[in-house]
Structure 1
Amino acid sequence: MRLSRATLSRVAPAARPLALPRLTGVVHLGIGAFHRAHQAVYTERAMAATGDDRWGICGVSQRSTDVAERLRPQDCLYAVRAGDEVRVVGSVREVLVPGDDLAARLAAPQTAVVTLTITEQGYRRGQASGQASSPASGAASGPASGAASDPASDAASGPAAGAAAGAVGRLVAGLRARAAADAGPLTVLSCDNLPDNGATLARLVAELCEPPLLAWVEENVTFPATMVDRIVPATTRADLDDMAARLGVRDLAAVVTEPFAQWVIEDRFAGDRPAWDEAGALLVEDVRPYERMKLRLLNGSHSAIAYLSGAALVSEAVGDPAFAGFLRRLMDDDLSPTLDGLDGFDLAGYKESLLARFANPGLRHRVAQIAVDGSQKLPQRLLDPARDRLAGGHEPRWIALAVAGWMRHVTTARELHDPLADRLRGDGTASAAATVHRLLAIEEIFGADLRENEVFTGLVTDALERLTADGGRALLS
């Protein structure tokens, strides 16, 4: 029997939704597993904390009907397993698919907030949409700890990237309809992992607006920056079976996550909003210090795990004391010194919490999932902190090792999931020096500066030579 409002009585009271919204006030572009485990949970908790039931979510699938086919027969209910707790979430009210009238929903007066998790590809030039890429150095960073291959996910990767990129164009069409309807102000929140995500999204929107629309957007729409953090591995068939046993009904849209969740939001809203601060979100004046901390420490460590550990699961990698020691040195020696603006924040405790989260065997976070689209993730996770260390006269040894691991991966992997795959692949016969020279010349990833930096080039070449020769086990210590 399938989960739905009609079968909700079969679910234990403690596992039923905290709130069932009366209206739709939020539109979310990219309703994959991460959104369902993160923003949708915060939104439900906000409604439960305040009794304000106007904040139901209209989820928008960017590239397929799969998520809609899972959620619609369930009245958009789904369960989240966080650690040992399983609970049905009720904040999603409807799901739109390609071809549905998104513009009408964005133009509705009761819609006050738009959120997005469209992955880094949505902020780069889409082959179909003609959008401009993010102006950040190199490429934008990766998805918000989320899953790229979840059977119940809509996160974009590989050949579907062009569809994700079209999200900004669809957003602009909706803003045009909203302006024509004089439907009032709107807040648009990017929840993707790239620096200054709000400002980046605002620039992309502006590039697609004709002058009258741009004037309206500048007066009526804000794009606050955000930082999101929750590890959401791909949901497996075994997970779905486990959830069915726990719930007493079948749920084909269930997601699995960790107990930890974090959401930091720039307090710059155009109008009304859910009381996310009542649900644990942190509203701040400046998100950037938290954003850098998460991108570099969590996501940077994830990339190092993906390209150096050789493990199938993150927990297996961190369960190796030598590798856990390497991650500590990466964070302490190369990444933490590049962070500032965190006065009063327990950075040491945060790093310890990361290692504990990584070591959680219950998550079963697949390393292959993290390795996807590495060319899009490396710049903000590892290359920008490498630049900071080099500028200070330091040698980013541990970052260079992780970058060398990525180079080994892209030149030897049997299957390479990356938008630049054709330019990255090698035949495994080139020398380490030749491989480093060839890959550092790809300016979309490394810019023009790193290939000219003899210290960085030397560190990466040495690390790649040793990785190629003996697997680099000795390099970890």
Structure 2
Amino acid sequence: MSIPRLSESVLPRLPPGIAVPAYDRAQVAPGIVHLGVGAFHRAHQALFIDDVLGRGETDWGIIAASLRSADTRDAIGPQDNLYTYCERNGESESLRIVGSILETLVAPEDPERLIRWLSDPRIRIVTLTVTEKGYLANLAERRLLHDHPDIRWDLAQPEAPRTIYGFLLAAIRRRRADGAMPLTLLSCDNLPANGRVLRALLLEFAERADPSLVAHIAQDIACPCAMVDRIVPATSDADRATVAARLGATDAWPVVAEPYFRWVIEDRFPHGRPKLEFSGVEFVANVEPYEHMKLRMLNGAHTAIAAIGQIAGLETVADVYGDPRARRFIDRYWREVAPTLSPETDGPGYTRGLQDRFANPALRHRTVQIASDASQKVPQRLLAPLAERMRDGQAHGAVLMALALWIRSCAARSEGGLPTVIHDPAFNAWHSPDQATLSPEAIIDAFLGFDLVFGPEWRAKPGFAAALTEAYRRISTAGALAALDQFD
């Protein structure tokens, strides 16, 4: 007999032990528009807003928008925008139905609908998880890619935008004309100084698209910085089956996450915010120390682990970190990077937590997922701490090796001869070298010409190319894990 699909009508019939929304969803008003709805948003920000609604702050419901794919809308829309949050730690698992998303829409299908929601006077905050590539920028230089076809489209067709800048500018223009309060724009993407980056790029876009709004954006639109931290692997068919068996109902797209979370936000919300601190969110005056810690310790190690997995054919983070050779290398990487962190952060404690999190086999966090869009992550995650260690004359061999591992992971085939999967539009658009036919020197020389990753300052650093070439040679000659075993 078929089982029902998750929906409002199914909630009263769910088994005991399944948490459900502790509020009347019909009484919830929208207060947030989220751009870039995906698994991370639904396992992090939307979860905490669900807490907020349950505590009686019912004017913070979420309108969630995808700027590209209809997949999320098609999955949870027929479920009354409900979905299951599955938290896993080792053998334990808890399930919770989240109801904070009121509507899911797909921007390309109806751009005007998203602009109307962004312009609605009840909306006070716009949150974003569009990933690095969604900013359409050279992030190392905080400069828009003016030749990108979507940027050019938005400048020519402002009534039907495609980018975050086009949508935000259209809403800012309309809200100003209507006398609505200015929005607060909260980036939750893994970028250093993400709020300042968003602000700078939006101003750059406005200077071309509508200069009359530049002063208004600069003076009235708040863009606080934030750091988010929770591991959310891609949902698998096995996850769907497990959740369905527990619920007695099907959920087209549950999300799975680890118990650990951290959300640190610059407390700059001139027109109000939900009381997220009651769910453990930290509001601070300066997010930068926390950003550095997470980007360099977790994300940097993840980039190295993903590269090892791609090269050596290891599927998950736990598979890689479970190999003692890889684990010793990652531990060495952390020891090198830790001195670049601010003293006010608990680097040693955070590292101990990462050791446990990376070893958690229940998450099944696939290395190919982490490797996606790596070329846009390497500057913040690896090159930034590498530059500091080199500048200060400190040991940096592990960070350099992590960079060489990423370069080797971009080869057409793994060490086992299988095709390498590279979900990285920026890299795929670049004319990458054929690593099977060129010398290490030629490969590194070609990569140093990849301007979206390596600026001219890297090509000018004395000895850098030679050291990177030698690290790459060791990996390509001995194999990734053997090279790490020999690393000292």
Give the alignment's TM-score, normalised by structure 1.
0.89
Q: Contact 1:58 / 1:94 at 8 angstroms: preserved in 2?
A: yes
Q: How many angstroms apart in 1 are the aligned matches of 2:37 and 2:283?
A: 23
Task: Determine if the alignment matches structure 1 residue 108 to structure 2 residue 117.
Answer: no
The within-5 A match list for 1:316-465 is: 316-333=319-336, 335-340=337-342, 342-343=343-344, 345-413=345-413, 414=419, 415-418=421-424, 419-421=426-428, 422-465=430-473
Q: Is the CA contact (8 Å cut-off) linking 1:28 and 1:57 kept in structure 2?
A: yes
How far 1:138 sits from its partner (Å)? 10
Name the counterpart of 1:90: 99
Q: Deviations over 1:378-436 (max 9, x none)?
A: 10000111100010012410111111111112133434322222422414111111111
Further displaced range: 61-70 or 189-198: 61-70
User: Which residue of structure 2 aligns with residue 26 of structure 1?
Assistant: 32
Residue 131 of structure 2 corresponds to: 119
- Counterpart-to-counterpart distance in 2, 1:380 and 1:137: 12
User: What is the deviation of 1:51?
Assistant: 1.3
1:46 to 43, 49, 52: 52
1:55 paired residue number: 60
Query: Are residues 1:248 and 2:248 paired?
Result: yes
Identical aligned residues as a percent:
41
Instruction: State whether structure 2 residue 68 is matched by structure 1 residue 68.
Output: no
Asked if 2 retains the 8 angstrom alpha-carbon contact of 1:19 and 1:45, the reply is: no
Partner of 1:289: 289
8 Å CA contact 1:186–1:270 kept in 2: the answer is: no
- Distance (Å, rounded) in 2 between the aligned partners of 1:106 and 1:289: 31
Give me the CA root mean square deviation.
2.1
8 Å contact from structure 1 (residues 43, 276) kept in 2: yes
Contact preservation (8 Å) 1:122, 1:165: no
Q: What is the CA–CA distance in structure 1 between the aligned matches of 2:120 and 2:35, rounded to whole Å?
A: 16
1:199 aligns with 2:196: yes
**Structure 2 residue 198 is the aligned partner of structure 1 residue 190:** no
Between the aligned partners of 1:68 and 1:456, the Cα distance in structure 2 is 47
Gaps of 5+ in 1: 126-132, 141-158
| Deviation, structure 1 residue 322 | 2.1
Unaligned 5+ residue runs, structure 2?
Answer: 155-160, 414-418
Aligned residue runs from structure 1 range 227-306, under 5 A:
227-306=227-306
Q: Deviations over 1:353-379 (max 9, x none)?
A: 111111100000001111122211110
**SS class of match (2:8):** coil
* CA gap 1:384/1:204 in 2 versus in 1, 3 angstroms: same
Q: 1:165 to 1:322 in 2, by over 3 A?
A: farther
Give the Cα separation in 2 of the matches to 1:43 and 1:20. Answer: 14
Q: 1:9 aligns with which of 9, 12, 31?
A: 12
Would the alpha carbon gap of residues 265 and 91 (structure 1) be closer, same or farther in structure 2, given more than 3 Å must change?
Answer: same
Task: Quote the residue 1:475 is aligned against.
Answer: 484
Letter in 2 for 1:69: D
How many Å apart are 1:220 and its aligned residue? 2.9
**Does structure 2 retain, via aligned residues, the 8 Å contact 1:103–1:175?**
no
Query: How far has the Cα of 1:137 moved from its partner?
Result: 7.1
Q: For the Cα contact (< 8 Å) 2:35–2:129, is it kept in 1?
A: yes
Deviations 1:63-101 (A, max 9, x none): 122211111111110001011111000111111212331
TM superposition shift of 1:238: 0.8
Shift in alpha-carbon separation, 1:458–1:120, aligned structure 2, 3 A: same
CA distance in 1, matches of 2:226, 2:143: 20
Q: How does 1:125-140 map to 2 (within 5 A)?
A: 125=137, 133-134=138-139, 136=141
Matched residue count = 446
What is the TM-score normalised by the length of structure 2? 0.87
How much has 1:250 moved relative to structure 2?
0.7
Residue 23 of structure 1: how far off its partner (Å): 0.5
Deviating above 4 A after TM superposition, structure 1's stretches of 4 or more consecutive aligned residues are 137-140, 162-165
1:42-67, Cα deviation, whole Å (9 max, x unpaired): 1111222x311111100001112221
Q: Is the 8 A contact 1:40 1:92 kept in 2?
A: yes
Once the 2 structures are TM-superposed, how far is the Cα of residue 20 of structure 1 from its aligned partner? 4.6
Q: What's the offset of the Cα at 1:111?
A: 0.6
Match of 2:324, as an amino acid? P
Classify 1:37/1:12 alpha carbon distance in 2 versus 1 (closer, same or farther; 3 Å).
same
Q: Distance in 2 between matches of 1:280 and 1:455?
A: 46
Cα distance change, pair 135–380 in 1 and its aligned pair in 2 (3 A): closer
| 2:166 aligns with one of 169, 182, 185 | 169
Could you say which structure has the greater relative contact order, defined with CA pairs below 8 angstroms and 6 or more residues apart?
Answer: 1
8 A contact 1:400–1:463 mirrored in 2: yes
